[in-house]
Amino acid sequence: MIQLGIDVGKSKIDLCLKPDGPDGRKKTKVLLNGPDVAVTVLEWLTRQKVSHSEVQVVMEPTGTYHEHLAYGLHDRAVRVVIANPARVRSFAQGMGILTKNDTVDADVLARYGAMRQPDVWQPPSPAIRELKALLSRRDALVQDVNRENNRLEKLLSTCGSARVELSVRKILQALNSELEAVQALIDDHIDNHPDLKRDMEYLTSIKGVGQAVGSTMLAVLRGNHFRSAEQAAAWLGVVPKEKRSGSSVRGRTRLSKCGPPSVRAKLYMAAMVAAKHNPHLKAFYDRLVSAGKAKRSALGGVMRKLVHICFGVLMKQQRYDENYAVAA
């Protein structure tokens, strides 16, 4: 496969084509980013006499700026890889490439695709994409409501302006109304898709997993193609990371925290509930504390266990059974 590394920015993309392998000659180009960027890239490849079927495009996720390019290329049957930025950076440092700019990053991505042979990106289904968008909007509104509540609390604790207080209350009312409307859209979206509705029932059958955590985990687990529960836990950053070497380095074991922090925050709250009300996870939590683990460390273990259970109920397509391990 011919490797095409693309460094994606908000307004432009930097291309690096490697037609002769990772150490061969390269062709570079800068194009504008936008809704039709995939068509522009394919037109440039045609001018370079490169067939769409023999090229692999390697890029990193950059918020939402890469989506027009990634989905556009995938819809046109182009092999797309969305690489983990941390792994790409470690790869560059291992190659002795310390400089970091857009041109160099595109070259590194092309080399990474040729030498590491990463997995091909499989986009989530349209239903999951819509669910993710709605959940993102809900989380943004929750943050806005919390901000306005904090402003109102501050106003009420001082001799503030009555007109400012009225303004804050108006904004709060509008935000709460919109939050309810978005939550209703989420519920309707899940109910209108039988597979999502069934998966949601499996997830919320777990004691400690409510509607908010369940919908988030549904989007995470169905929006990514994890091969195992361990891979899902690692992606979410809830696996332990040791720092020990010989007899001199004795660092504390911590969570890796390499995934989305917003999902981990929800998992943390779910773990606190599960450690009290889920008999299976309560026993697991108590066992860790009795073994000398700190309470927050034990909660991290419960978070990881929750991810494993969520993955399990979806893969086995059955409701959570507290006695499953005993019966097995």
Mean predicted confidence (pLDDT) in 111-116? 95
Where residue 241 falls among pLDDT bands split at 50, 70, 90? confident
What residues does 241 pair with on adjacent strands?
A: 254
Q: Are 216 and 235 in contact (CB under 8 A)?
A: no
> Can you give the pLDDT at residue 43?
96
For residues 119 and 324, which has the higher predicted lDDT (pLDDT)? 119
Angle between helices 211-223 and 162-191 (to 10 degrees): 60
Mean predicted confidence (pLDDT) in 286-305? 95
> Can you give the pLDDT at residue 325?
52
> Mind listing the pLDDT tens digit for each residue in 13-52?
999 999 998 889 999 999 999 999 999 999 999 999 999 9
> Can you give the pLDDT at residue 247?
75
Where residue 180 falls among pLDDT bands split at 50, 70, 90? very high
Q: Provide the 10 A C-beta neighbour count for residue 102.
A: 15
154-186 burial, b at 16+ Cβ within 10 Å, e below that, comes to ebeeeeeeeeeeeebeebbeebeeebeebbebb
Task: Supply the mean pLDDT for the chain.
Answer: 93
Where residue 251 falls among pLDDT bands split at 50, 70, 90? confident
Confidence check: pLDDT of 197 > 90: yes
Distance CA 86, CA 289 (A): 33
Where residue 193 falls among pLDDT bands split at 50, 70, 90? very high
3-state helix, strand, coil in the chain (%, to 5): 60, 15, 25
Confidence check: pLDDT of 253 > 90: no
> Mind listing the pLDDT tens digit for each residue in 24-33?
999 999 999 9
pTM of the shown model: 0.88
Confidence check: pLDDT of 250 > 80: no
> Mind listing the pLDDT tens digit for each residue in 296-322?
999 999 999 999 999 999 999 999 987
- In this predicted structure, which of 147-161, 169-183, 243-257 has the lowest mean pLDDT? 243-257
- The gap from C-alpha 53 to its chain's centroid, in whole angstroms, comes to 29
Share of the chain above pLDDT 70, in %: 98
> Can you give the pLDDT at residue 228?
96
Confidence check: pLDDT of 221 > 80: yes
What residues does 28 pair with on adjacent strands?
A: 16
> Can you give the pLDDT at residue 184?
97
Confidence check: pLDDT of 327 > 60: no
Where residue 137 falls among pLDDT bands split at 50, 70, 90? very high
